[in-house]
């Protein structure tokens, strides 16, 4: 992910499949940098949600031309 001239790297830490109504996965810990990716599951049906949890690994400044 890139933001404000910095590249952030995240490492996936786990996955889960949940019901669409389950919103608790959107709650983040008070400290640290985390990312939650959400998509419909299965493909073309969308009866559930596939969740991918990730934690920040590192960040590297990037210069723009």
Per residue, the 3-state secondary structure of 4-41, as one string, reads CCEEEEEEEEEEEEECCCCCHHHCCCCCCCEEEEEEEE
Question: pLDDT grade, residue 2 (50/70/90)?
Answer: confident
Domains and CATH numbers, the chain: 2-61 (2.40.260.10)
pTM (two decimals): 0.76
Residue 51, strand partner residues: 16, 38
pLDDT of residue 64: 53
- Is the pLDDT at 65 greater than 50, yes or no? no
CB neighbourhood size of 30 (10 A): 4
pLDDT, tens digit, 9 for 90 and up, residues 4-50: 877 888 999 999 999 999 999 988 888 888 999 999 999 888 899 99
Alpha-carbon distance of 59 to 53, in angstroms, equals: 18
Return the biggest CA–CA distance within the chain: 44
């Amino acid at each position: 992910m890139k933001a404000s001239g910095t590249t952030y790297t995240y490492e996936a830490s786990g996955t889960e499949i949940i019901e669409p109504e389950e919103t608790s996965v959107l709650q983040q810990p008070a400290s640290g940098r985390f990312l939650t990716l959400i998509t419909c599951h299965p493909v073309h049906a969308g009866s559930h949600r596939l969740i991918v949890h990730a934690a920040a690994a590192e960040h590297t400044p990037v210069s723009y031309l």
